[in-house]
Amino acid sequence: MPSHCLRGLRRKDWVDGTVVQTLAFIPDRTTSGGPADEFHETSINWEDDETVLAFTLDRRLQSEHGVARLSRVQIDSIRQLRTCIGQLEYERKTEDDNPHHGNLLYRKGCTKPLEKMIASALALDAEFIPRVTP
Amino acid sequence: MTTLVMQNWLYENSPEGSYLLRRDFVPEASYALKDAAAVPTSVDAITSRIASRVGTLSNPRMNTELSEILRQFRFTASDPDLEIDRTAPLEIIDSEDGSVLIEWHFKDRRLGFNIEPEEGQSGWYFAFSRESGGQCGSGTLPSLDMKALLHLILKQPLHR
């Protein structure tokens, strides 16, 4: 797995200035994925190489307000917290038009305060990359 | 019911059953004399965005929870031992999943309260950045100890 992943910031309220908001990492409860479909998903692109950032920003629908970059070390440090063990995972899940696609996975049944804590911790450690308009 | 206090409440990310439970809250005599006018201006300033949303959430229970979180925050933050001058205002945000988040942001840490459409799932959470130790914690509303949380997030010693 690559050392970093990118989360497209689709909504304006997912970033405040240069600060990534908790909202950006709350999972989509309409999704079902991961092993045995036991997880809700938050879409990411794995930063396989130096082209993936531009690739992600090109998909304007998902990244209108920039991109949040997370390191896998940051994700793993949250996963290893005692209350988070088994609650947060990640995967690669390529799509026809996106070979870099993956997901952060939140276990279904995770309590909502814990889910929000995870999202907040991820946002806090994320690096904001703005969209540069020419 | 006797108040139960468990050790290592926050610092070991304890499971929820170990949190402080306070079911029959009896206000201090001095609390009865406190009113909105006695709340420092700075507390009013940092909670104004939350106060403006009281009564506007989608169901009565969520509104009650919002009011209670605000009440506890204002009461606790009015403690002159807590230094809240020059802190950012609390934000209130509507999430796509139907929840409402109240968050207090600092450069390296966040305190949050989530008000959920699903009964029993509203609560509190905090996170510190990895550079600042990476502490995180969460719990449902019955386990909320506002005094401990504010002292933790403001990095001030808690005296009981």
What's the ipTM?
0.92
CB atoms within 10 A of CB A45: 25
Confidence at A117, pLDDT banded by 50, 70, 90: very high
Handedness of CA A105, A117, B132, A84 (dihedral sign): negative
Mean pLDDT, chain A, rounded, equals 93
Residue B160 within a domain: no
Name the percent of chain A lying above pLDDT 70.
Answer: 97
Nearest to A113 among B93, B108, B114 (CB): B114
Residue B131 within a domain: yes
Total beta-carbon pairs less than 8 A apart between chain A and chain B: 91
pLDDT score, position B106: 94
Residue B50 within a domain: yes
Amino acid B149 reads L
Range of the domain at A12: 4-129
Please tell me if residue A12 touches chain B, with a CB cutoff of 8 Å: no
The length of chain A is 134
Residue B73 within a domain: yes
Residue A134 within a domain: no
* H or E element in which residue A107 lies: strand A101-107
Interface of B with A in 22-61 (CB under 8 A): none
pLDDT score, position B158: 61
Residue B86 within a domain: yes
Structure-model confidence comparison of residues A132 and B145, the more confident one = B145
CA nearest to B68, candidates B10, B111, B25:
B25
Residue A65 within a domain: yes
* Yes or no, beta carbons of A23 and B109 under 8 Å apart: no
pLDDT score, position B150: 95
| Three-class SS state of B137 | strand
C-beta of residue B129 within 8 angstroms of C-beta of residue A125: yes
What are the Cα distances from residue B1, in Å, to B5, B18, B21, B22, B68? 12, 16, 9, 8, 21
| Total count of domains within chain B | 1
| Cα Rg of chain B, angstroms | 15
Residue B11 within a domain: no
Q: pLDDT tens, B71-87?
A: 999 999 999 888 888 89
Please tell me if residue A113 touches chain B, with a CB cutoff of 8 Å: yes
* Backbone phi, psi, residue B154, to 5°: -90, 0
Assigned token pair, A26: 């709350």
Residue B2 within a domain: no
Nearest to A112 among B121, B127, B130 (CB): B121
Contacts A83 to B, Cβ<8 Å: 13, 15, 136-138
Residue A67 within a domain: yes
Residue A105 within a domain: yes
Contacts A21 to B, Cβ<8 Å: 93
Residue A62 within a domain: yes
pLDDT at A99 over 50: yes
* Yes or no, beta carbons of A116 and B114 under 8 Å apart: yes
Q: In what order do the strands lie in the sheet with B100-105?
A: B91-94, B100-105, B109-115, B123-128, B136-140
Residue B3 within a domain: no
pLDDT at A36 over 50: yes
pLDDT score, position B86: 84
Nearest to A121 among B15, B93, B127 (CB): B127
| Three-class SS state of B77 | helix
* B84-90, long-range: CB < 8 A, 24+ apart: B84/B42, B84/B43, B84/B46, B84/B154, B85/B42, B87/B46, B87/B154, B88/B46, B89/B45, B89/B46, B89/B47, B89/B48, B89/B49, B90/B46, B90/B47, B90/B49, B90/B50
Q: What is the pTM of this model?
A: 0.84
Positions of chain B with pLDDT lower than 70, given as ranges? 1-40, 156-160
Range of the domain at B73: 16-153
C-beta of residue A95 within 8 angstroms of C-beta of residue A101: yes
| Total count of domains within chain A | 1
Nearest to B138 among A13, A22, A117 (CB): A117
Name the percent of chain A lying above pLDDT 90.
Answer: 89
* Yes or no, beta carbons of A113 and B105 under 8 Å apart: no
